[in-house]
Amino acid sequence: MAGAAALALVAGLPAIAQDRPESILPPGFGDPATAPGPATNNSASASRPTGDRQSVEGSAVEIVESLLGDEMASSAPAAQVEYPRTARRDPHIAGTLDPVDLGIGSRPWGAASGRSLEILMRRMDTPLASRWAHIGLRNALLARTPSPADVNPADWAAERAWLLLRLGEADAGRLLIASVDSNRFTPKMNQIALQSALASSDPSAMCPLENALGKLEPRVVALVSAICASLSGESERAAADIEAARRRGRVGGIDLALADKVVGAGAETARAVTVEWEPVDRLNSWRYGLSTATGMMPPDRLINSSSLQTKAWLSRAPMFQATQRLPSARVAAALGVMSSQALIDLYATSYDATDPDELGGTEAWQLRLAFIGKDQDARLTAMRTIWGNADSPLDRVAARVLLSRAARRVIPDADLQSDAPDLVASLLAGGFDRDAARWARTLPDMDHEPADKVWAMLALGAPEARGLGISATRIENFADRDKSEGKQRTALLVAGLAGLGRITPALAGRLNRDLQLGLGAKTGWTGLMDGAMQRRQAGTAMLLTASALQGGEFDQIRAVYMFHAINALQKTGQGYLARMIAAEALART
């Protein structure tokens, strides 16, 4: 990876929650300020976006400028392994999902510069503001599509996998890496595969990389060698490698103890290790991966202070009980890593494992009532409890995802106007747009405040605009009652309606002028997005949409970016995603 690039891993693997990676081990294990990074086919600058309203424009312009006159270095090919010809896979089409089934076409990147897309991915500030943008980006990154012509195909897959890991998608990242034959691995791919092994809590996945780590990660070679020797039954060599690492003194404390504990989990080692968490002040990749691999949950204080992505990784760790994973699973569901059904299944497992005498005070019990309460009032009471227990904006999204299927059982009624916004937001969080659209008929009998909230979400998220009364007068009335700062909700509404084509360009232009929404602004980013739209590059459009929604919440997203993103998704065959993202923006502001 290039010297200043965001994947310049120096003395170890990327630390969790760092877009500018550092060593997996604590200070003193290496000097990240001076150690050179491994060579790849990229040498672009890597100033990371700040995540504020200007970051998307600035980063896009920097991407274009950084490619002018850039000297590109090719990675040395990995040593060949004798695979049967029938077993070899073409690295140019690495991926697992059918792009046609995803609706992004067989060539979603088109003729876009792979070098510029790699830089854009590397600079992405995660997590995203939108759950649905996360889902769309994950699918695009996992698509089995030809790699751009100007990049090393293995490096292209590694860059995609690295972004998936930073999104919290440990399973998806591992799937993508597994779709590339190991004899095709480049230095970048070896490093990301090592990171993926830790994110997936699977030390055995480090063993195929052992020979490549001598040059890439020399300070962890002895530890990885000891772990792999233990897992293959060579207990004496494992013990000798651990003792050698201890004598050298480069690694100590909990980092050595965790490696020793994994070694002790191997066959015939007879090693007992005590791990002391008290002096540890942060949870990095090494500590997370090795502790969870042995079924040892890190202390709550470290988990609570860790990144959202780390919690998403933890939600999928199979060695822990469902009850232990539930807090992290809510985070994963809110981000888009976990589906509503997967979250419900985890709650059901937790319900079955809970003592009957203790069930009454659990959220799993409330969720059960939300589905099978004796009548609609009982079900709604349980749903209100779950919505009310959410203690942060992200947790409110998780509550809506959790209740998306239960909300389908509620019969639309204007008498439920106080619950209607949460019910419709829950339905749309689960993607049940047709069920949400049934609430349109109750709008005339609602008061202004709940009616405005429900109408705005349906105007953007419903499958069809007919019967929703989308007009200049309705939008202006909405704007008059909009109390959000800078009328952000109105700006996002008009941007979404214009991008979806649900209002005419003339009306959009008049509203933009009258309400001073700034939708006509032109930036380097809007030029890139419009170009991707015109060339029908669905994958490029999805990646640029994610760049517009990186970091923060929707109240920090400029409406002009929303307009161009929604318009591009709509025009590149991703209309469903466009509607869900636009409706989500109104649900979360």
| Distance of alpha carbon 289 from alpha carbon 326, whole angstroms | 19
Identify the band that residue 235 occupies on the pLDDT scale cut at 50, 70 and 90. confident
Identify the band that residue 219 occupies on the pLDDT scale cut at 50, 70 and 90. confident
The predicted structure's pLDDT at residue 248: 74
Pair 201, 234: CB distance under 8 Å: no
**Residue in this structure with the two tokens 């709650």, named with its chain if needed:** 347
In whole angstroms, how far apart are CA 378 and each of 381, 447, 524?
5, 24, 53
Cis peptide before 127 (omega within 30 of 0): yes
Buried b (16+ CB within 10 A) or exposed e, 300-320: eebbeebbbbbbbbbbbbeeb
Pair 191, 6: CB distance under 8 Å: no
Instruction: For residue 385, give both structure tokens.
Output: 């409890």
| Higher local confidence (pLDDT), 332 or 33 | 332
| Distance of alpha carbon 399 from alpha carbon 379, whole angstroms | 15
| Distance of alpha carbon 427 from alpha carbon 410, whole angstroms | 11
The predicted structure's pLDDT at residue 452: 97
168, pLDDT greater than 70: yes
* Exposed / middle / buried, residue 296 (Cβ in 10 Å: 0-12, 13-18, 19+): middle
Phi-psi label, residue 44: left if phi above 0, alpha if psi -120 to 50, beta otherwise = beta
64, pLDDT greater than 70: no
In this prediction, residues 483-492 reach a mean pLDDT of 95
Least confident stretch, 237-246, 357-366, 386-395, 474-483: 237-246
Q: How far does CA 413 lie from the centroid of its chain?
A: 36
Identify the band that residue 212 occupies on the pLDDT scale cut at 50, 70 and 90. confident
The predicted structure's pLDDT at residue 251: 63
Ranked by mean pLDDT, the top range of 85-94, 259-268, 554-563 is: 554-563
In this prediction, residues 452-477 reach a mean pLDDT of 96
10, pLDDT greater than 60: no
In whole angstroms, how far apart are CA 245 and each of 138, 230, 268?
39, 15, 20
19, pLDDT greater than 70: no
| Higher local confidence (pLDDT), 221 or 522 | 522
Pair 415, 450: CB distance under 8 Å: no
> What pLDDT digit, counting tens, does each position of 341-362 carry?
999 999 999 999 999 988 988 9
What is the share, in percent, of the chain residues with pLDDT greater than 90? 69
Provide φ and ψ at 550, rounded to 5°.
-75, 135
33, pLDDT greater than 50: no
The predicted structure's pLDDT at residue 216: 81
The predicted structure's pLDDT at residue 270: 61
Helix 505-515 to helix 488-500 angle, to the nearest 10 degrees? 170
The secondary structure of the chain in percent helix, strand, coil, rounded to multiples of 5, reads: 60, 0, 40
Identify the band that residue 249 occupies on the pLDDT scale cut at 50, 70 and 90. low
**DSSP helix/strand/coil, 407:** helix
- Angle (CA) 17-22-24 rounded to 5° is 85
DSSP annotation string for 358-382? GGGGSHHHHHHHHHH-SSHHHHHHH
> What pLDDT digit, counting tens, does each position of 102-143 carry?
999 999 999 999 999 999 999 999 999 999 999 999 999 999
Q: How far does CA 365 lie from the centroid of its chain?
A: 29
Length of the chain: 589
* Exposed / middle / buried, residue 208 (Cβ in 10 Å: 0-12, 13-18, 19+): middle
Least confident stretch, 233-237, 443-447, 525-529: 233-237
| Higher local confidence (pLDDT), 89 or 3 | 89
Q: Considering the chain, what is the average pLDDT of its residues?
A: 85
| Distance of alpha carbon 266 from alpha carbon 268, whole angstroms | 7
The predicted structure's pLDDT at residue 222: 85
Identify the band that residue 91 occupies on the pLDDT scale cut at 50, 70 and 90. confident
**DSSP helix/strand/coil, 72:** coil
| Distance of alpha carbon 515 from alpha carbon 507, whole angstroms | 12
Pair 589, 492: CB distance under 8 Å: yes
In this prediction, residues 137-161 reach a mean pLDDT of 95
| Distance of alpha carbon 395 from alpha carbon 543, whole angstroms | 26
**Residue in this structure with the two tokens 């008290």, named with its chain if needed:** 278
The predicted structure's pLDDT at residue 268: 60
Cβ-based neighbour number of residue 486 at 10 Å: 13
**Residue in this structure with the two tokens 């990074």, named with its chain if needed:** 37
The predicted structure's pLDDT at residue 218: 76
